[in-house]
Amino acid sequence: MNSFCDCEKDGHCLRYQREMGGRMRELCAGVNVDLGTAAAFREQWSREVRFRAGADGKPISLLLKTDQAPGDAVAMTAAIYSLHRAHPGRYTTVVESYWPEVFQHNPDVVPLVAQGAGVVQMHYPAIHQSNQRGIHFMQGWCEFIGSALGINVPLLTNRPHLYFADQAPPVENFWLICSGGKRDLTNKLWGHQNYQAVVDALKGRIRFVQVGGGKTPAPWADTCAKSMEDDHPPLSGVDDAVGKTTLRELFDLTRRARGVLCGVSLLMHVAAALEKPAVVVAGGREPVAWNAYPKQHYLHTVGTLPCRDTVGIVGGACWRSRVVPLGDGTVLDRDTCEYPVDGTPKCMKLISPEYVAETIMQIER
């Protein structure tokens, strides 16, 4: 399967609303044909879908499926928001996700799938062009859903959108801190000792509440088990909420917090949605334009080192997965850091705890 074609076998194509088989499916997938010809066919099929869609004046029902991580799901809410603002009243959307709490109370998401709803398995293939284009993660979601529906879906917001049944609670005197992350993507981690140094430097000035992992809702426990296997060693001198919150409880904590300190993670997307100040320790793994949000201090070192990305190009973000191989037999072991220093990427080592602590205090002032 590729980013052009959703079909795994001949039959009815939900994206282009036509029977697709044999040579036509090859054209759709760009197999045994030049890409220009394949693109021309797909564009024509997209136009045909647009002309047929909504001909009876009723909204078109969509089922959006996503099996990505919770932070990805939060970012995807920007595409749903943009779809409905760009094409008001044209669609109804249902979301099927491992993380239903992300879409709770969302006025653009309906609870029940209509009979005959078009199914879109959501992706963001633009990530593979993120070093060459000035494109944000949220726009990647928008481009894909626009391509799938054969319409233009411009990014019409600068943040994800989370919704609540109650009014925002008063802000309390604490910052959230997430010092850990996914065990299988160690290149994203700044290091437990660095976060501890920030906590120590700000002792008596900033109260931190450590979060991470979380309580998994029972219906999703088996499916989500691997996604929840994050590593969050306890910090000293903080309030401990690691593994003690559901997603909605984490969202509520973020609403009450003064700010957030974390790496490139779920928490940065949540903070952006709730328009909270955040200090994000990013290093050189991911492009700045792909991740940076308003009200966030995105501390990066992209371009500082002569690092190559996973296809050997120098000068951008590396997109590598691990500091050193973990020996688990996955392809991630092939994408290791070129400049590891004591178990941490050198691009992360260049960001000092003193600088992070000072950035937090600049926000507090």
Per DSSP bridges, beta strands 208-210 and 259-263 are unpaired
Angle between helices 70-86 and 137-149 (to 10 degrees): 60
DSSP 257-288: -SEEEEESSHHHHHHHHTT--EEEEEETSS-H
Q: By C-alpha distance, which of 129, 145, 179, 5 is closest to 75?
A: 145
pLDDT of residue 222: 41
- Residue 363 burial by Cβ neighbours in a 10 Å radius (0-12, 13-18, 19+): middle
pLDDT digit of tens for each residue in the chain (365 aa)? Answer: 445 666 777 887 877 777 788 887 787 877 887 777 777 777 767 655 654 555 556 899 999 999 999 999 999 999 999 999 999 999 999 999 999 999 999 999 999 888 888 899 999 999 999 999 999 999 999 999 999 898 999 999 999 999 999 999 999 999 999 999 888 899 999 999 999 999 999 999 999 999 998 765 534 334 333 444 678 999 999 999 999 999 999 999 999 999 999 999 999 999 999 999 999 999 999 999 999 999 999 999 999 999 998 888 898 999 999 999 999 988 899 889 999 999 999 999 999 999 999 999 999 98
The residue ranges of every structural domain in the chain are: 11-149, 175-364
Residue 124 has a CB neighbour count (10 Å cut-off) of: 25
Which residues make Cβ contacts (< 8 Å) with residue 302, sequence separation at least 6?
284, 286, 287, 288, 316, 317, 347
Q: By C-alpha distance, which of 112, 67, 72 is closest to 92?
A: 112
Query: What's the rounded Cα separation, in Å, for the pair 365 and 360?
Result: 9
pLDDT of residue 93: 96
- Total-model pTM: 0.83
The class that CATH gives domain 175-364 is alpha beta
Q: From edge to edge, which strands make up the β-sheet containing 91-97?
A: 91-97, 60-66, 118-121
- What's the first-to-final CA gap in the chain, in angstroms? 51
Which DSSP category does 139 fall into? H
The sign of the torsion formed by the CA atoms of 250, 256, 262, 263 equals positive
Place of tokens 């909605």: 248
CB 41 within 8 A of CB 27: yes
Which residues make Cβ contacts (< 8 Å) with residue 56, sequence separation at least 6?
none
Q: By C-alpha distance, which of 95, 101, 34 is closest to 247?
A: 101
